[in-house]
Amino acid sequence: MTTWITVCDTCRFGEQGDRPEAPRDGARLAALVEAEAETREGVRTRRTSCLMGCTHGCNVAVQAAGKIAYTLGRFAPEADAAAAIADYAALHAASETGQVPYRSWPQGVKGHFVTRHPPLPDAE
């Protein structure tokens, strides 16, 4: 089953709030995540504008039908962060429930979890 990474492409990271120029940090992170996800089995990406977590950007959501979903934030638009997000999404894709044991988490996602959402009852 496909795990989708939804990247907010309008997020600002840290001090970018004072810098309105394009591209936004979220768009930079999205491009990096898209490149990483191409090599991860069962992972696809999409972009959206605002996940309503603007104060802790850059934000992404990790979702799959019938699985627990997560939002993660506070990512810098950097290659290491993108690789960790894609690695985590691949583990989510390989998990029957979407839960990934903490011992398996990529170091780069630790401390970035913001919310989790149980699957909808009719999707289990």
Q: Is 120 in the site for ligand FES (CB under 6 A)?
A: no
Q: Is 98 in the site for ligand FES (CB under 6 A)?
A: no
Q: Is 64 in the site for ligand FES (CB under 6 A)?
A: no
**Distance set, CA 120 to CA 54, 63, 69, 93 (Å):** 25, 12, 10, 17
Q: Is 77 in the site for ligand FES (CB under 6 A)?
A: no
Tokens for 103, please give them.
């011992």
Q: Is 7 in the site for ligand FES (CB under 6 A)?
A: no
CB 77 within 8 A of CB 32: yes
DSSP label at 17?
Answer: G
Spatial separation of the C-alpha atoms in residues 69 and 88, rounded to whole Å? 12
- Cβ nearer to ligand FES, comparing 70 with 100: 70
Q: Is 53 in the site for ligand FES (CB under 6 A)?
A: yes
> Can you give the binding site for ligand FES, defined by CB under 6 A?
8, 10-11, 26, 50-54, 57, 59
